[in-house]
Structure 1
Amino acid sequence: MFPEHILAHINTHTLCGIRAGTEPRAFLNIWMVVVENRVFARSWGLSERSWYGAFLQQGVGAIQCGEKEVPVLGRIPADLEPLGEKINQAYLQKYTSEHNRPYAQGITQPDHMARTLELLPLPA
């Protein structure tokens, strides 16, 4: 489980950095949500050549919360089906600005739900 300060950062910031794989590259700012003290992210672009695809291939990466870089594992959660609606609600409740609302509605659709990853702290 992530430390409380990392969960708090994700809960209070609309964008957090993600970097997939083991190669050094820049962080990409994406939406992340916390549900039941677990961190989830969804692919918006649905491209195979994306951070999502790199996590599926390599399984590791990092998230950036402020100045803090946290190594993570990325996996499709085994309990995605029962958690799916809670994750949808987390997106809809977090991303409420006029600009974000259409994207929040979009990211809760089945194509995007199917591209949900759980991010877990990499064991030391």
Structure 2
Amino acid sequence: MVAKSAKLTQLIQAVDGQKVHQIRCGDHRFIDVTIVQTQGRFFVRQYKFSKRSWYDAFINNPTIDGLPNGAMKIGDLEVQINGKVPEDLQSMTPSVNQAYRKLLGLVYPLMRLTFDRQKHEATTLELIPVFDH
């Protein structure tokens, strides 16, 4: 069995190594998103706002007793997750912004010109890996 720290290291490398990742809430299909990693934590933001979004699915189906409420997939690596609004969202926002800037490079400032920063930053979810489920 691979140690939890080795699994986390593998996940960090996978997320940092790609720009397009996938998530799902529950057993629904995977959808493409961009996940960023900062300080060993994983975050994703909503950039399109629809009534039945992946963001709403996670908000409306919170984790119970630490059981996963979704999964993230990077290539062949699939990890169960708990997707939730981070309790320290305001203090983490600058780090998450920097992680997006680092991952997306020149594309990120151009993207930010087209959306309401506060609205998008407010839809940041933390994806907490559940390795021992």
Give TM-score scaled by structure 1 length: 0.86
Q: Give the aligned length.
A: 121
- How far the C-alpha of 1:79 sits from its partner, in A, is 0.4
* C-alpha distance in structure 1 between counterparts of 2:97 and 2:118, whole Å: 10
Cα distance in 2, alignment partners of residues 90 and 106 from structure 1: 19
- 2:23 is aligned, of 18, 27, 30, to 18
User: What are the equivalent positions in structure 2 for 1:1-124 lying under 5 Å apart?
Assistant: 3-20=8-25, 22-25=26-29, 27-59=30-62, 60-98=69-107, 101-103=109-111, 109-122=117-130, 123-124=132-133
Structure 1 CA distance for aligned equivalents of residues 113 and 99 of structure 2: 11
Q: Report which of the two has the higher share of strand.
A: 1
Label 1:13 to 1:86 Cα distance change in 2 as closer, same or farther (>3 A): same
RMSD across aligned positions (CA):
2.1
Distance 1:58 1:40 in 2: 17
1:107 and 1:34 map into 2 onto residues whose CA distance is 22
Consecutive aligned runs of 4 or more in structure 1 exceeding 6 Å deviation: none
Give the aligned residue type for 1:88: N
Contiguous gaps of at least 5 residues in structure 2:
63-68
1:63-92 CA deviation, whole Å, 9 max, x = no partner? 001112111110100001111111111111
Q: Deviations over 1:20-51 (max 9, x none)?
A: 1x2342x1111111111000000111223111
Greater Rg over alpha carbons, structure: 2
